[in-house]
């Protein structure tokens, strides 16, 4: 019995020592610069949006170089979900969750793109790029016109088609 216990302890110790030291570095301290770079929150009312503006033509260029390889031509979907061109409603089976049919706020779309896209290099888009590609995606979903410029103020005022499609659990009911 002692022999098996010693063997088990030795194997367990060897396995622990063999672990790769180059793991995900969870708990690693971040520099102040990194924290400042990532410390932003954009609220549905537009609070937290950075200064800047975007246009549909410039957004088409950003989309073509940074988004098309995953999301397909004009947001039709490829290796990633479709972003525009919904053929079904949310109530259909299966539901079609595009920007125009699902997202409740344009500001949330901006925030998501800024933090998470492109998938292979999240956070690498400039604020200008994010405003531009947001404008292009809103245009593809027939939410803004081709010649419309979006900025901090106009983005917060865009009423998305599914704005009232979610249940507000946080508002005070009187």
Q: pLDDT tens string for the chain (174 positions)?
A: 777 777 767 767 766 666 666 666 677 787 888 777 777 889 999 999 999 999 999 999 999 999 999 999 999 988 898 999 888 888 888 888 999 999 999 999 999 999 999 999 998 999 999 999 999 999 999 999 999 999 999 999 999 999 998 887 767 655
**pTM for this model (two decimals):** 0.78
End-to-end CA distance of the chain: 70
Q: Is the dihedral of CA 103, 106, 112, 117 positive or negative?
A: positive
Q: Tell me: the pLDDT tens digits for 125-148? A: 999 999 999 999 999 999 999 999
- Paired sense of beta strands 53-55 and 149-151, if any: antiparallel
Q: How far apart are CA 156 and CA 163, in angstroms?
A: 12
Name the average pLDDT for the chain: 88
Q: Tell me: the pLDDT tens digits for 69-88? A: 999 999 998 889 899 988 88
Contact in structure between 81 and 97 (CB atoms under 8 Å): yes
Is domain 52-162 given the CATH code 1.10.760.10 in the classification?
yes
């Amino acid at each position: 019995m002692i022999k098996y216990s010693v063997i088990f302890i030795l194997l367990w110790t060897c396995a622990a020592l063999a672990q790769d030291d180059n793991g995900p570095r969870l708990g690693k301290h971040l520099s102040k610069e990194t924290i400042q770079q990532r410390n932003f929150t954009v609220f549905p009312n537009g609070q937290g949006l950075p200064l800047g503006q975007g246009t549909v033509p410039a957004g088409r260029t950003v989309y073509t170089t940074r988004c098309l390889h995953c999301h397909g031509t004009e947001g039709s979907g490829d290796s990633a979900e479709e972003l525009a061109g919904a053929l079904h409603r949310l109530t259909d089976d299966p539901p079609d969750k595009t920007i125009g049919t699902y997202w409740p706020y344009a500001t949330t779309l901006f925030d998501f793109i800024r933090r998470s896209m492109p998938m292979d290099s999240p956070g690498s888009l400039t604020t200008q790029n994010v405003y531009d590609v947001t404008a292009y995606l809103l245009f593809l979903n027939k939410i803004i016109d081709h010649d419309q410029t979006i900025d901090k103020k106009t983005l917060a005022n865009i009423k998305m088609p599914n704005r009232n499609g979610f249940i507000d659990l946080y508002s005070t009911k009187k």
